[in-house]
Structure 1
């Protein structure tokens, strides 16, 4: 359903392409600038920045570029907004995913997910409840019902929003992307079980900073032990056909990352245009 796809990150993957993205502040002017950037998606960063749901709602409105929407014929923003929430996986949080989804984001990234139970909760928090025995019942949805703002932002009726607001690839028609940060040795040890047992994880984003800290080599991203840990993550994701992401893509490593099979490449906005152009040229489109 690529032609009707609202989520630009998922669209890129369905077309066999890597997706390019960046973190963004929850700020109206930054959001306005980002909607003209050459990204498939952006991630509003609320783990290390303030958790500001009201500000997120404002920023999302500034992501709507009327000219691009008119030219494309799509109701969706040309750059897909996602959100990274503050709560670590171990906190088993649910309300933050609910609130950012209710504002209209197309996906949620949860930091520090290390176990099957934590990953299950991350997916369930993004899903509406279904009748027991319904198709794709598990992970059982626990997202509270309050779709009015999100449906309006997506340009859909509430019934149409319900139909599309499920997690991909568990629901092939779903437009919501659930991402987990893999950033500890425990998470790496459990990743095979997580991706075997938890349907609905669409992205594993490597947290190189925290991972390198945990390994004893803070921010030494080229250290052999850090690279080996990242290699294990990538291999496990490839085994389960789950997209793997890198948050520190730059002109020096983009060719290597593409060659290793990364599908979600995040670069700093200050140098993004060149990196994205270089990455797309290397990827052949």
Structure 2
């Protein structure tokens, strides 16, 4: 077994590809269902679901498919789990990220990040502290030290885990994705400063539902005002070479979303996976069986 790149979402982004994932309820049954899919990862949804670390821990375990891992020759999970936590960026609730990471999450999705201060707090929560002289010191890590369960889940010793438990792409060896959601006009107006002043952001995810509310066109996903705001976010992400994620990819909008240049596509979790199949077709990959 090798310890090459463990985070499948990072692996896909590093190669210049498009990463696919889906929302997943924090349940054992859902984790089992997703364990044999063709998604690169899943986003376990805890923003609008109850926060229960013990259930989250069990979902992580049941997501592992031992036959697939053995066949791959790597300890990397075949489907990479990241977690969307309940707190908005402005709440600075770093303890939620700490608990998810300590259970073994490979990334944290932070809802409603609107300022540089909030962005730096989010990234800092995903990092362990470093010396001032460390070349990757900023943002200064604020994650508490409790790696036992995460190292076990990743299949590493604690010292091996420390080397990999940092944010990508700031640390090229890092296996943790810090994904910040831009969901309001304040976040859009501050996005250039956020990306310029906050190294370590793995991706920006557009919260088109909340953004559409503020624009006065709730869930009118094809409304010109919403599409214009989303295009602005994409352009800023491209300017700073930060991938942008689309949160609601369906078989109907997959071709448009793909062509617009989103790098992470969150597909609908239908049991037939039509959106995923459409994305794989557009990418020239044989549709999932």
TM over 0.5: yes
For residue 57 of structure 2, what is the aligned residue in structure 1? 57
Structure 1's consecutive aligned runs of 4 or more residues displaced over 6 angstroms after TM superposition are none
Q: Tell me by how many angstroms 1:277 deviates.
A: 2.1
Q: Does 1:70 align with 2:70?
A: yes
Could you tell me which residue of structure 2 aligns to residue 6 of structure 1? 6
Contact 2:212 2:226 in 1 (8 A): yes
Is 1:131–2:131 an aligned residue pair?
A: yes
**Displacement after TM superposition at 1:148 (Å):** 0.3
How much has 1:66 moved relative to structure 2?
0.6
Question: Matched residues in 1 for 2:52 and 2:182: separation?
Answer: 24
Please give the secondary structure, in 2, of the residue aligned with 1:248: strand
Can you give the 5+ residue segments of structure 1 that lack an aligned partner in the other structure?
Answer: none
Match of 2:106 in 1: 106
Indicate the RMSD between aligned Cα atoms, in angstroms: 1.0
Pair 1:51–1:191, CA change in 2 (3 A): same
1:29 lines up with 2:24 in the alignment: no
Instruction: Give the secondary-structure state (helix, strand or coil) at the position aligned to 2:83.
Output: strand
Tell me how far 1:197 sits from its aligned partner: 0.5
Report the TM-score when normalising by structure 2. 0.96
Structure-2 residue corresponding to 1:166: 166
Please tell me whether the aligned partners of residues 88 and 113 of structure 1 are also in contact (alpha carbons under 8 angstroms).
yes
Once residues 283 and 190 of structure 1 are traced to their aligned partners in structure 2, the CA distance between those partners, rounded to angstroms, is: 32
TM-score (structure 1 length as normaliser)? 0.97
Match in the other structure for 1:269: 269
Which residue is 1:198 aligned to?
198
Residue deviations 1:129-179, cap 9 Å, x none? Answer: 111211200100010000000000000000000000000000011000000
Instruction: Find the aligned partners of 1:215 and 1:149 in 2 and give their Cα distance.
Output: 43
Kindly tell me the number of residue pairs found equivalent between the two proteins: 283
Give me the whole-angstrom Cα distance separating, in 1, the residues matched to 2:130 and 2:93.
Answer: 20
Q: Contact (CA 8 Å) 2:166, 2:175: kept in 1 or not?
A: yes
